[in-house]
Chain A
Amino acid sequence: MIDRKKAWAALARHITDEIVVATYSSATDWIATIDRPLNYFSFGAMGLASSHALGLALARPDKRVIVLDGDGSLLMNLGTLVTIGAVAPKNFAHIVAHNGSYEANGGHPIPNKQTDFAGIARSSGIAKAQRIDTLAGFEAAIPNLLTEEGPLFVDLIVEQGELGPRSYKDMYSRVRRQAFREALQAG
C-alpha cells in the first residue's frame, strides 16, 4: 500500500510541462504537493476527470496529459476506459489512486474493493495497463509514464487518506481556470 502524498511527491519531482488533470482527493493531495498553472482540476461532476483529460489530449497532442483519478470517481464513469481505449491518445497517462473508498464523501467503501481496474482497462483496449502497489514500483514507473506512447493506465494501490470535508472552491475558481488557459496557450 502506498501513501498517496508520497506517490504524488515522487511524480512531482519529474513534472515539467505536462498537463496534470486531478480530481477530488487526488487533487487536494496534488495541489498541496505542487501548485502550478498547468494543473487542471476536473470540476463539477464526479467521474469526468479522464473525459476532460481526453479532450485536452486530443486538443494538444504535443503535450503529455496525466490524469490523477480516484477509484470511486472512475467507477462513476467506467465507460471512459472504453472510449479512451478506442480513441487511443498517445500522450495520455491515467493513474487511479485505488483505496477502496469514497474518501472525500466520508470514507464509505466502493461497491467492490477488489475491482481489477487494470484488467478492465486492458479489456477496454488500453493494453499498457498495470497494477502498482509499492512506492518503489511507482517511482520506477514514472519515467515511462511521462514518455512512453500511450494510452497508459496505472491502478495505484494506496492507503486511505484523510476523510473530508475538503474545499474545492479555489481549485475551481475562474482565476485558476484562466491561468490554466493562459499557460496552455503559452506553450
Chain B
Amino acid sequence: MHDSPAPAPLQGALIIDAIKQARVDYVLSVPDLHTSNGLLKPIAQDKELKLIRTCKEDETLGIAAGLSYGNKRALILIQWTGFLYAMNAIRAMACDHSMPMCMMIGLLGKEPELPSRQSARFGVRIVEPMLDTLGIAYHRISEDADAALIAPAIEQAYAQSKPIAFLIERRPVHA
C-alpha cells in the first residue's frame, strides 16, 4: 500500500498575476471560504486591483455590465452557491446579451481526487453541466500551470463580448 503524493498547493499569487495581466480593473466579490485566503484577502490588499464587495452575487453581474460599457474590465469572484443564486442575471447578461462576464467560481467542498461532475455534493456536481447548458465556456483551475489559461481567456471574452468562467477546483494558498 502506498499513498500518492499530495498535490502541490495552488498558488493564489499566480492567479492574481494572471488577473492583472488581463488588465482587469475591478474585482467584484461576495466572500467564499474556498478563495478567501488565497485570493480575496490578497486582492483586498493589492494596490493595482479595485475590489468592490457586494451583498449578493447578482449585483456583480450588473456592475460588470455597466463597467464594460465604460471600457473597464471586471472579474466576478464568487462561490458556486453564488453562481447558482445569480442564475437569472447570468442568463440575462452573459447569455441573452452576450456580455463579457468573467466569473471565477470557487468549488467549495469539491473532493480533490474527483472531477467536479462526480462530486458527492449535488451543488458542486451541477456547476459544469449548468455552464454547458448556458453555453458558457470554462476552464478548470486546479494546478499552478492552469493560471496561464486565465489572461488569454479574459482577453478573448472582452474581444468577442462573450462570457467565461474559471472553476477554482482546489483551494488557493497565499504565501
Contacts and interface: CB of A to CB of B under 8 A. Distances in A.
Interface of A: 21, 40, 42-45, 47-60, 77, 79-80, 82-83, 86-87, 172, 177, 180-181, 184-185
Nearest to B50: A58
8 contacts: A45-B58, A48-B59, A51-B58, A52-B66, A58-B52, A79-B55, A80-B55, A83-B53
Interface in B4-59: 26, 52-56, 58-59
B78 interface: no
B55 A83 contact: yes
A185 B105 CA distance: 31
B96 A55 contact: no
Given A45-B89, A48-B89, A52-B65, A58 B59 contact: no
A83 B54 CA distance: 6
Contacts of A56: 66-67, 69-70
B68 A43 contact: no
A54 B88 contact: no
Contacts of B126: none
A132 B138 CA distance: 47
Nearest to A63: B70
A55 to B, nearest CB: 2
Interface residues of B, number: 29
A55 B70 contact: yes
B155 to A, nearest CB: 18
Interface in B51-97: 52-56, 58-72, 74, 88-89, 91-93, 96-97
Give the interface SS of chain A, mostly helix, strand, loop or mixed. Answer: helix
A48 B69 contact: no
Given A43-B97, A83-B53, A87-B52, 15 more contacts: A44-B93, A45-B62, A48-B61, A51-B62, A52-B65, A55-B62, A55-B69, A55-B70, A56-B66, A58-B63, A59-B67, A59-B68, A79-B54, A79-B56, A180-B69
A55 B67 CA distance: 4
Given A58-B26, A59-B71, A77 B92 contact: no
Contacts of A77: 56, 58-59, 62
A57 B67 CA distance: 8
A54 B66 CA distance: 7
A184 B69 CA distance: 8
Contacts of A79: 54-56, 59
Contacts of A40: 66, 69
A42 B69 CA distance: 12
Q: Which 9 A/B pairs are nearest by Cβ-Cβ distance? A: A59-B70, A55-B66, A44-B92, A79-B55, A51-B62, A48-B62, A56-B66, A55-B67, A55-B63
Nearest to A180: B69
B100 to A, nearest CB: 12
Most chain A beta carbons < 10 A, residue from B52, B63, B64, B65: B63
Residue of A47, A58, A82, A87 with most partner-chain B CB within 10 A: A58
